[in-house]
Amino acid sequence: MPVGRALVLRYVAFAAMATLINLGTQRLIFAGGTDPGRFIVAVIAGTVAGLLVKYFLDKKWIFYDDGQGLRAHGRKFLLYVIAGLATTAIFWGTETLFWMASHDPSMRELGAVIGLTIGYVIKYKLDRRFVFVDARVS
């Protein structure tokens, strides 16, 4: 399998894993109710859970970044979060739009998946250009 194809498959698998973790975290929080305050907590908690998993998977298996220690991780993670602000806005906006239009959990999750998919495509390009600039991947 060409390296490019293997990279794309890994990235898609990691994005799917982070999405499932994100939505699973949200479902746990929504188990207690679906009021607007809980919606905000669920979206933020899901985002953080998915972000942490995705960062460590991307760092090691997508960009082959072998930086060690708190300083190296801290700097890269900060850049990773900054690069993700716009993509997170796309995700949150799409999920919120679907939720407000229907108040149906299935539609909210569909909006989340659409928003995350768009966001992950953009996020890879931002990460490659600004976060993992010394990556061995093109």
Greatest C-alpha distance within the chain: 48
Q: In angstroms, what is the C-alpha Rg of the chain?
A: 16
| pLDDT of the chain, 138 residues: tens digit per residue | 456 889 999 999 999 999 999 999 999 999 998 888 999 999 999 999 999 999 999 999 999 998 888 888 898 999 999 999 989 999 999 999 999 999 999 999 999 999 989 999 999 999 999 999 876 654
DSSP track, 58-94: IIIIIS-----HHHHHHHHHHHHHHHHHHHHHHHHHH
Residue 133 CA to residue 45 CA, distance in Å, equals 28
Residue 83 CA to residue 74 CA, distance in Å, equals 14
Please provide residue 118's backbone torsions phi and psi, each rounded to the nearest 5 degrees: -60, -45
- Predicted TM-score of the model (pTM): 0.84
pLDDT of the residue at 89: 93
